[in-house]
Each structure stands twice: as structure tokens, then as C-alpha cells.
Amino acid sequence: MSKAAITGIHGYVPDYVLTNAELERMVDTNDEWITTRTGIKERHILKGEGMGSSHMGAKAVAGLLEKTNTKPEEIDLVICATTTPDYVFPCTANLISDMVGIRNVGGFDVQAACSGFLYALTIGTQFIETGKYRKVIIVGADKMSAITDYTDRTTCVLFGDGAGAVLLEPNEDGYGVLDSIIRSDGSGQQHLLQKAGGSRYPPTHETVEKRWHYVYQDGPSVFKFAVKNMADVSAEIMERNHLAGDDVAWLVPHQANKRIIDATANRMGINTDKVMMNIHKYGNTTAATIPLCLFDYESQLKKGDNLVLAAFGGGFTWGAAYVKWAY
């Protein structure tokens, strides 16, 4: 059976940079506190009226098509992982496709919070492995600034905006997505959520006044759950594929918090110099963190490298994937 190989990667972040120094002027915080607890120094913010996650996703996809010499008409399917869709409907994948000239193909969004890219990658892989499609684009795009409360010092320091996209194609030589695990636990919903804006609590004056349209996070509970489950699922995917720490070229973790990343690497027996890290530049871009890591580190990747992708997000959701790099 063919494997679904990543044959190209591209990323995009907006020009505007929100530094820790600027946040110090907005809320009661400081650079030392932010850096020590999160590892974040700056994050990119999408500015401009009417600009949404699709605009960043389209930049990433357009760059991906150009880089891989792929014509829009060659694409069979577009899947977008996002927690901040432009609209309730139509889906962001359709908007991205329209912007880059991809027509008459399937397109849909996946919402699994920070684990969204891993979920979308797992789904897209199935279409390649079954032979249904030959070229599938997976996008992770989030404009987290749209749902971040910049009066809440515990959350506003964490999030940034960005997008990343990969092209999946069949591979007969053993490269590609070799295994994946996705998990969820809905009982964790109260610890990390955007309470209003959906069908349970539609927008009203009251929901706006209560600031229910912003990210709410119970930091200690999320941290505890994330450390355990992201580490556990990473160790599990290594064990069932008979991988030791020395066999893994790179850990590609969701960039939520440096302490969570360090704990995951330690559990896997992986040295810090084999951990992709760009949280200091971008903060937590939710579904975009993993593809942005791959984009930033692309020049250091070698054909045949064993990668473990790992994520944890609201829902709760979490997962891991074992990828053998194809180029």
C-alpha cells in the first residue's frame, strides 16, 4: 500500500510583531515572567480589516504550490485545520481554495484545537493510502489574536497568528506518514474553551459583556494534562514502531509552552538539540505550530529522517504521528 508522503512544506506569518515589551505596556506582566514560564519572546499578529485565517492559509498554500511546481488543477482535496475560521460557514478550506485558484475539489475544515493539524494530517493520509486521491493539501491556520483577550495577562502572552501547509502525495518507497494516534477527552472542556459564539451560547450583549468570546484557560489544569498526555502518546507511538530515542532525528512538538515540550522530550529520551522549537518567535499559533516548525527546519531535514509529531489541545485533544521524511 502507498504511504502518504509530505513532498513540500510552506509557512506564513504576518508582518506585525507583538513583543513582550509591548505586552508589558498593555497588561501587568514582564519579559522575564513570560519567558521563564512559556519560552515566548514575540508573536506575529494579523492586522487589517476583514483579514481572517484564510488569508494566511492562502499565502501558505500559494507558496507551497509555487515551491513544488504544482498547478492548482492538480490538487484533489484541501483540508484546513483551524480553531478560528473566518466564518461559521462556509468553511475556511473553501475560502483558501478560492483564493489560490483550486476549483471543483473537496474541501473541509477540521476543528481539534491545537491538535488540529495532526488530526487533519491523519485524515488526509487515508485518502492517499486508499488510492482515492494523489495530491492532498493539509493547512493549519489560526488567527488567535481574534479570540485573545488582551486584558487577561494569563492568556494574551501565549498566542500568535500564522499558517503552514503541506502537500501529501503517494510514496512506494517506505517514506511518509507511517503511523498516527489521535485521542480526545471531552471531560476537559471546561478547562480550555471559548464559551460563546456557538449554538449553546449564541452571541448576545450579555455574552460580549462577560467576555465569553475569548479564550478561557485554566492554566494549571491544562498544563498537568498536557504534560502527561503529550508525553504518553509520543512514547506510545515510539514503542509500537520499535523506535528508541537515538532512532528519532527530530521531535516536532506543538508549540504551546517550552516546559511542556521539554517534559515530552525527556519522556521520549530525546536530546534537546533534536527538538524543533520556534515558540520564542511565534508563540502558540494553534493548528499552525507543527507545519511552521517543519517549514523553519526544512533545510535541516534529510531524506529518511524519523520524525515524531506530537500535539495537545483544547477539547481535550492530543495525538502523535510517526513520519519518515521523504526528501
Alpha carbon distance 294, 251 (integer Å): 10
pTM of the shown model:
0.98
pLDDT the model gives residue 211: 98
How far from 138 is each of 4, 60, 101, 192, 211, CA to CA, in Å? 12, 10, 16, 25, 32
How far from 67 is each of 10, 63, 84, 133, 319, CA to CA, in Å? 8, 6, 26, 21, 29
pLDDT in tens, 69-120: 999 999 999 999 999 999 999 999 999 999 999 999 999 999 999 999 999 9
pLDDT the model gives residue 77: 99
Contact 159, 44 (CB under 8 A): no
Neighbours of 225 (CB within 10 A): 18
Which amino acid, residue 123? I
| pLDDT higher than threshold 90 for residue 1 | no
Alpha carbon distance 163, 285 (integer Å): 8
pLDDT in tens, 16-45: 999 999 999 999 999 999 999 999 999 999
Contact 91, 82 (CB under 8 A): no
User: Which residues are identified as catalytic?
Assistant: 114, 254, 284
- Quote the percentage of the chain above a pLDDT of 90: 99
Query: What are φ and ψ of residue 65, in 5° steps?
Result: -60, -45
Helical residues (DSSP H) of the chain, grouped into ranges: 20-24, 31-38, 53-67, 92-100, 116-129, 205-209, 219-240, 258-268, 279-282, 289-296
pLDDT in tens, 224-242: 999 999 999 999 999 999 9
